[in-house]
């Protein structure tokens, strides 16, 4: 079954053709980062307008790279939430139009389910049950996944998402948007023990996070000691990064232990972080838990993960009709 996945929920216009929810024949991503960077974050109206311009060329390119035409497909999948309302509507209207023109069935996919299932594109992909941490610019949530289509949220951030904390700290430090990668690169040259930033770790049986206190601590540090440069900047980045990786990995391994889960998946943009990956691997090995980490290109937003989730939905009979609306706050 060949499914075309379409993703326009935030600042990436993406499309991909995936066979049987496992093998991507193409994976095209057009990023708007350069457009939003000068504003220090995603501007919703600019995102919608650029999706309108990019969406059809991106879909055409995904089909061309797969060597297919629309008539060779078996289904369509589109992100219908959560995300920016105007941005979501662009992808959704395109999916409806293509479905109307071709008669292909289409499925509305939850963007977070897409992130959780991106790992299915790897040859040795885990089957449910597993625990999945989604850690991105908009979300930091831990799910128990007993089966495809069933997601129990067992923990989440109480304030900022981890990626949001990265982006806000980068702003304070005068680094470009989005801040994850520049902080990650600087941190490689820094001492993670240079500054002991606070770790918010709510009670042992609570699998929630809080990152706003950490962000404020960085801000206070800069106010007290001045804008860091050179080694001091690298040390601050490494210390901040260590605090984020520490609380994320501590909580997911504690949750896995409590719920007797033997497989952990980490996904979303922040899953590209080098320290998070290394520390999670170290602690998972210690605990005898299998850790599955998607490669970096599958961590950030893409159309292939939407095609995977759409394939699973269509297989279950989850066919949408033309009354489907976008849901910017859709909770998985
Ligand atoms: O999943 P994603 O592409 O979009 C959302 O759905 O949010 O994630 C983007 C987030 C941004 O906050 C970005 O700063 C963060 O992922 N990010 C990173 C790294 N690469 C991207 N955070 C930490 N380390 C990285 N290497
Ligand atoms: Zn995302």
Residue 177 CA: nearest ligand 1 atom is 14
Which residues on neighbouring strands pair with residue 79, listed in sequence order?
Answer: 109
CB 281 within 8 Å of CB 288: no
Is the pTM value of this prediction over 0.85? Answer: yes
270 lines ligand 1 (CB under 6 A): yes
The structure tokens listed for 108 are 């509305």
Distance 175 CA to ligand 1 centre (A): 14
Distance 26 CA to ligand 1 centre (A): 22
Task: Supply the pLDDT for residue 204.
Answer: 82
Task: Supply the pLDDT for residue 34.
Answer: 86
Measured by CA distance, the residue closest to atom 19 of ligand 1 is: 180
Per-residue pLDDT of the chain (332 residues; tens, 9 = 90+): 999 999 999 999 999 999 999 999 999 999 998 889 888 888 999 999 999 999 999 999 999 999 999 999 999 999 999 999 999 999 999 999 999 999 999 999 999 999 999 999 999 999 999 999 999 999 999 999 999 999 999 999 999 999 999 999 999 999 999 999 999 999 999 999 999 999 988 788 899 999 999 999 999 999 999 999 999 999 999 999 999 999 999 999 999 999 999 999 999 999 999 999 999 999 999 999 999 999 988 999 999 999 999 999 999 998 999 999 999 999 99
The structure tokens listed for 180 are 């994850």
| Nearest ligand, measured from the Cα of 7 | 2
| Nearest ligand, measured from the Cα of 298 | 1
Measured by CA distance, the residue closest to atom 22 of ligand 1 is: 180
166 lines ligand 1 (CB under 6 A): yes
Measured by CA distance, the residue closest to atom 26 of ligand 1 is: 273
Distance 313 CA to ligand 2 centre (A): 19
Which of 268, 300, 297, 304 shows the shortest CA–CA distance to 77? 304
Cα–Cα distance list, 235 to 178, 183, 230, 272 (Å):
20, 10, 9, 20
CB 42 within 8 Å of CB 50: no
Domains of the chain: 2-117+301-315 (3.30.420.40), 128-293 (3.30.420.40)
The structure tokens listed for 210 are 């809080």
Task: Supply the pLDDT for residue 213.
Answer: 96
Distance 305 CA to ligand 2 centre (A): 10
DSSP 121: G
pLDDT digits (tens, 9 = 90+) for 264-313: 999 999 999 999 999 999 999 999 999 999 998 899 999 999 999 999 99
pLDDT digits (tens, 9 = 90+) for 62-108: 999 999 999 999 999 999 999 999 999 999 999 999 999 999 999 99
Taking CA 31 as the corner, what is the angle to CA 179 and CA 51, rounded to the nearest 5 degrees? Answer: 125
């Amino acid at each position: 079954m060949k499914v075309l996945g379409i993703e326009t929920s935030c600042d990436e216009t993406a499309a991909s053709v995936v066979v049987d929810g496992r093998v991507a024949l193409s994976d095209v991503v057009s990023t708007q980062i350069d457009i939003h960077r000068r504003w220090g974050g995603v501007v919703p109206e600019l995102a919608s307008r650029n999706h309108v311009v990019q969406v059809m060329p991106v879909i055409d390119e995904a089909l061309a790279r797969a060597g297919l035409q629309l008539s060779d497909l078996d289904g369509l999948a589109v992100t219908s939430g959560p995300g920016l309302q105007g941005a979501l509507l662009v992808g959704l209207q395109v999916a409806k139009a293509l479905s109307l023109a071709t008669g292909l069935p289409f499925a509305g996919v939850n963007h977070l389910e897409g992130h959780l299932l991106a790992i299915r594109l790897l040859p040795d992909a885990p089957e449910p049950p597993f625990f999945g941490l989604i850690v991105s610019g908009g979300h930091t949530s831990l799910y128990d996944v007993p089966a495809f289509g069933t997601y129990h949220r067992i923990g989440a951030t109480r304030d900022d998402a981890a990626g949001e904390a990265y982006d806000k700290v980068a702003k304070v430090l005068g680094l470009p948007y989005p801040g994850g990668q520049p902080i990650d690169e600087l941190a490689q040259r820094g001492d993670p023990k240079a500054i002991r930033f606070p770790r918010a770790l709510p009670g042992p049986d609570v699998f929630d996070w809080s990152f706003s206190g950490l962000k404020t601590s960085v801000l206070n540090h800069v106010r007290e000691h001045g804008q860091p440069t050179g080694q001091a900047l690298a040390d601050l980045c490494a210390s901040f990064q260590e605090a984020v990786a520490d609380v994320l990995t501590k909580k997911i391994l504690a949750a896995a232990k409590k719920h007797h889960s033997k497989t952990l998946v980490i996904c979303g943009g922040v899953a590209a972080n080098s320290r998070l990956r290394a520390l999670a691997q170290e602690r998972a090995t210690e605990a005898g838990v299998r850790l599955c980490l998607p490669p970096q290109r599958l961590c950030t937003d893409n159309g292939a993960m939407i095609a995977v989730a759409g394939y699973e939905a269509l297989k279950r009979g989850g066919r949408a009709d033309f009354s489907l609306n976008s849901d910017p706050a859709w909770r998985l």
